[in-house]
Amino acid sequence: MSSPAPAFNELIHAPLRLRACGLLRNVDELEFSVVRDALAIDDAKLSKHLKVLVDAGLIALRKERSSARADSRRLTWVRLTPAGSTALEAHLAALRSIADGVPLD
């Protein structure tokens, strides 16, 4: 697969969203609590940032019952969409270009 052209993405660039996307970059999906704990933020703050990415079509959420739980609560799984993976790789390429002193178009 070829690398996408550098493209700075304001939605991804917000620090917590960039870190969340980075966590999801090399995995199929992660459970919400894993992302929350890795970012050391509360549920509400993570939900707010994930909603921005979901609304932009960059990540997808999947709810699933847990066989390990006795109650009816469901687990939420988070993954980058194909569009999200492309946008993240383009954003990372843009950051590399900026760091190398190469102007973006």
Please check whether residue 2 lies inside any domain of the structure: no
* Structural domain contains residue 55: yes
Asked whether residue 64 is domain-assigned, the answer is yes
Contact call for residues 28 and 42 (beta carbons, < 8 A): no
- Model pTM? 0.89
Q: 84 in helix, strand or coil?
A: helix
Q: What percent of the chain has pLDDT over 70?
A: 93
- DSSP string spanning 8-62? --HHHHSHHHHHHHHHHTTSS-EEHHHHHHHHT--HHHHHHHHHHHHHTTSEEEE
Q: What is the pLDDT of residues 21-48, one digit of tens each?
A: 999 999 999 999 999 999 999 999 999 9
Establish if 4 belongs to a structural domain: no
Which tokens hold the place of 23? 């966590």
In the predicted model, what is the mean pLDDT of the chain? 93
Residues paired with residue 31 on neighbouring β-strands, in sequence order: 77
1 pLDDT higher than 80: no
3 assigned to some structural domain: no
CATH of the domain at 14: 1.10.10.10
What is the total count of domains within the chain?
A: 1
